């Protein structure tokens, strides 16, 4: 480009602060992001953009910080309709006595459609542009993500027992294969495999899931070492820790995401290191269900990629990743007994580039770099309770204000403008949510 070349762009975003995530730990001031089509074309000081770019649309964000869209790497989106339904219980009581019976009663295509839209509305409004889902009727979730234009890794469920989506492993795996074939290569939907947990999936279906992953390249996501009970129970029944059992089957590798990992001894750590498997940390769910504490600092020091997830709204109770980051940072410091264990900048990296790496999309997502997809958000820092601003990363993580997200674009398409969702009809959705809550409340009172 010569000094007098004028380049074309579709959108120019003028940001007071910009956190590109790559390079790490930096804040740019008075920079512009140029978007052409669905990609980032350039990031420049605003005065340089004045002389080198003409954009069709210019958006001035004088009190805002712009950063990559957040990546929520673990959840059960439609469980938003079960938010606050069964509180203050440990995992297995919560699942066996409340959640699984409710799922048996209510899960249908319509429930998944409405619950997932509720979750997408909350996630978009609080800065998430990519989410991972592990739930029933993944084909409904995929169509919704595609139609709204939100990116999603969607893991089809695999369990030993029947659910409203399948009669058992044979049906889950055959429907799952068709699901992968239908969506693989889609810009928005990454189909993946979701064996629920070591205590609900036996070796034979797991071996078939691993073969399907190797054949198609689809990632595997699984709840693993969520509680001390899970590990103790497995040791008693099988003589091995679940992580060792998974490694023995060949399930751990760079295409595998281990959700929770609150119980990690030296042998587990070595397996994660050797295989390149990713850890998905869900601090608020772990706290609410008293599941345990993931040693995030220890994992990161050992070179394990740790991304972040909210888990479902029924064990959280929200899908706001900014709140999750605050909890993650505070908890990591307490667990490591070290105030520097997880800095604000490192926490932001967990919700962006580490998440992209975990789902195998770091060449396109997770940082503001020319050539990557234009998935970005702006957070308004003008409110009195966010003043003064010395380091915007500090406010993003420690002030937990996901609702200050003012703008969001996915592939250059606006999803949130001045705090309003552009592609989900919220009043209409609220009517359907009310109808579900009436039915669930009535069933619960029986
Ligand atoms: C295979 S579909 C997902 C399945 O997982 C259940 N679930 C939700 N949260 C958790 C959790 O924290 N640990 C284990 N299982 C969980 C959900 O209700 C579905 O049945
Ligand atoms: Zn979960």
**What pLDDT shows up at residue 149?**
98
18 close to 62: Cβ distance less than 8 angstroms = no
For ligand 1, atom 9, name the residue with the nearest CA.
Answer: 312
Cβ–ligand 1 contact at 225 (below 6 Å)? no
pLDDT for 3 beyond 60: no
Distance (angstroms) between ligand 1 centre and the Cα of 100 equals 9
Q: Identify the three-state secondary structure at position 181.
A: helix
Cβ–ligand 1 contact at 223 (below 6 Å)? yes
**What pLDDT shows up at residue 403?**
85
Largest Cα separation within the chain, whole Å, is 74
83 close to 317: Cβ distance less than 8 angstroms = yes
Distance (angstroms) between ligand 1 centre and the Cα of 446 equals 24
Q: Quick: pLDDT tens for 178-227.
A: 999 999 999 999 999 999 999 999 999 999 999 999 999 999 999 999 99
Q: Quick: pLDDT tens for 92-109.
A: 999 999 999 999 999 999
Cβ–ligand 1 contact at 395 (below 6 Å)? no
pLDDT for 11 beyond 90: yes
d(CA 15, CA 199): 48
Mean pLDDT of all residues in 166-188: 98
For ligand 1, atom 5, name the residue with the nearest CA.
Answer: 196
d(CA 230, CA 240): 11
The confidence band for 446, taking pLDDT boundaries of 50, 70 and 90, is confident
Cβ–ligand 1 contact at 99 (below 6 Å)? yes
Distance (angstroms) between ligand 2 centre and the Cα of 311 equals 5
Mean pLDDT of all residues in 283-298: 98
For ligand 1, atom 14, name the residue with the nearest CA.
Answer: 223
What Å distances lie between residue 389 and 5, 14, 259, 376, 380, CA to CA? 36, 18, 34, 21, 12
d(CA 321, CA 260): 16
Model pTM?
0.98
Helix-strand-coil split of the chain, %, nearest 5 = 45, 25, 35
**What pLDDT shows up at residue 401?**
78
Q: Which of 119, 193, 223, 259 to mutate to test the pocket of ligand 1 (most atoms within 8 A of CB)?
A: 223
DSSP line for 234-261: HHHHHSS-HHHHHHHHT--STTEEEEE-
pLDDT for 55 beyond 80: yes
pLDDT for 31 beyond 60: yes
Domains located in the chain, CATH noted: 7-67+375-411 (2.30.40.10), 70-359 (3.20.20.140)
Q: Quick: pLDDT tens for 428-437.
A: 999 999 999 9
Contacts of residue 284, Cβ cutoff 8 Å, sequence gap at least 6: 310, 311, 315, 316, 323, 324, 327
Q: 38 a known binding residue?
A: no
Cβ–ligand 1 contact at 129 (below 6 Å)? no
Closest ligand 1 atom to residue 158 Cα is 1
Buried b (16+ CB within 10 A) or exposed e, 412-435: bbbbbeeeebebbeeeebeebbee
**What pLDDT shows up at residue 4?**
66
Mean pLDDT of all residues in 54-83: 98
Distance (angstroms) between ligand 2 centre and the Cα of 163 equals 16
**What pLDDT shows up at residue 192?**
99
pLDDT averaged over the chain? 97
d(CA 23, CA 29): 14
Contacts of residue 291, Cβ cutoff 8 Å, sequence gap at least 6: 90, 91, 226, 227, 260, 262, 285
Q: 196 a known binding residue?
A: yes
Cβ–ligand 1 contact at 357 (below 6 Å)? no
Higher-confidence residue of 401 and 137: namely 137
- What ipTM did this prediction achieve? 0.99
Beta-sheet strand order (sheet of 151-158): 70-72, 128-134, 151-158, 189-195, 220-224, 256-260, 278-281, 306-308
d(CA 62, CA 18): 11
Percent of the chain with pLDDT over 90: 97
Cβ–ligand 1 contact at 285 (below 6 Å)? yes
**What pLDDT shows up at residue 365?**
98
The confidence band for 402, taking pLDDT boundaries of 50, 70 and 90, is confident
Mean pLDDT of all residues in 68-91: 98
d(CA 400, CA 396): 6
Helices and strands in the chain: count of H runs, count of E runs:
17, 16
Cβ–ligand 1 contact at 135 (below 6 Å)? yes
Q: Quick: pLDDT tens for 337-368.
A: 999 999 999 999 999 999 999 999 999 999 99
Cβ–ligand 1 contact at 309 (below 6 Å)? no
Distance (angstroms) between ligand 1 centre and the Cα of 311 equals 8
**What pLDDT shows up at residue 198?**
98
**What pLDDT shows up at residue 59?**
98
Q: 103 a known binding residue?
A: yes
Q: 311 a known binding residue?
A: yes
d(CA 368, CA 352): 10
Q: In 3D, which of 55, 19, 51, 13 has the Cα closest to residue 32?
A: 13
């Amino acid at each position: 480009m010569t000094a007098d070349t004028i380049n074309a762009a579709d959108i120019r975003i003028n940001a007071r602060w910009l956190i590109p995530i790559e390079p790490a730990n930096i804040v740019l001031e008075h920079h512009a992001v140029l978007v052409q089509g669905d990609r980032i074309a350039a990031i420049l000081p605003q005065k340089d953009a004045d002389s080198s770019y003409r954009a069709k649309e210019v958006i001035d964000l004088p009190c805002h910080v712009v950063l990559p869209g957040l990546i929520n790497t673990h959840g059960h989106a439609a469980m938003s309709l079960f938010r606050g339904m069964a509180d203050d219980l440990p995992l297995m009581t919560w699942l066996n006595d409340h959640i699984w019976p409710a799922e048996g009663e209510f899960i249908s295509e319509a429930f998944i459609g409405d619950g997932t839209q509720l979750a997408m509305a909350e996630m978009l409004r609080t800065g998430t542009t990519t989410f991972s889902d592990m739930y029933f009727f993944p084909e409904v979730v995929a169509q919704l993500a595609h139609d709204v234009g939100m990116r999603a890794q969607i893991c089809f469920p695999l369990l030993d027992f029947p659910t409203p989506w399948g009669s058992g492993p044979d049906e889950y795996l055959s429907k799952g294969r068709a699901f992968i074939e239908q969506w693989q290569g889609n810009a928005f939907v990454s189909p993946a495999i979701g064996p629920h947990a070591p205590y609900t999936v036996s070796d034979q279906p797991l071996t078939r899931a691993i073969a399907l992953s190797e054949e198609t390249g689809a990632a595997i996501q699984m709840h693993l070492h969520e509680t001390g009970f899970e590990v103790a129970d497995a040791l008693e029944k099988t003589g091995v820790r679940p992580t060792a059992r998974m490694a023995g089957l060949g399930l751990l590798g760079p295409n595998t995401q281990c959700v929770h990992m609150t119980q990690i001894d030296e042998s587990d750590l070595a397996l994660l290191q050797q295989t390149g498997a990713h850890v998905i940390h869900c601090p608020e769910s772990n706290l609410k269900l008293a599941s345990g504490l993931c040693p995030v600092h220890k994992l990161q020091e050992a070179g394990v990629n740790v991304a972040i997830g909210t888990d479902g709204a029924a064990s959280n109770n929200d899908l706001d990743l900014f709140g999750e980051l605050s909890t993650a940072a505070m908890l990591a410091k307490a667990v490591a007994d070290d105030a520097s264990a997880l800095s604000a900048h490192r926490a932001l990296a967990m919700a962006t580039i580490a998440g992209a790496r975990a789902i195998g999309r770091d060449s396109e997502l997770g940082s503001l770099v020319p050539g990557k997809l234009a998935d970005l958000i702006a957070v308004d820092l003008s409110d009195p309770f966010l003043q003064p601003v010395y380091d915007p990363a500090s406010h993003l993580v420690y002030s937990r204000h996901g609702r200050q997200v003012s703008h969001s674009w996915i592939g250059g398409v606006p999803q949130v403008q001045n705090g309003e969702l552009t592609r989900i009809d919220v009043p209409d959705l609220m009517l359907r949510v009310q109808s579900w809550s009436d039915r669930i409340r009535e069933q619960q009172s029986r």
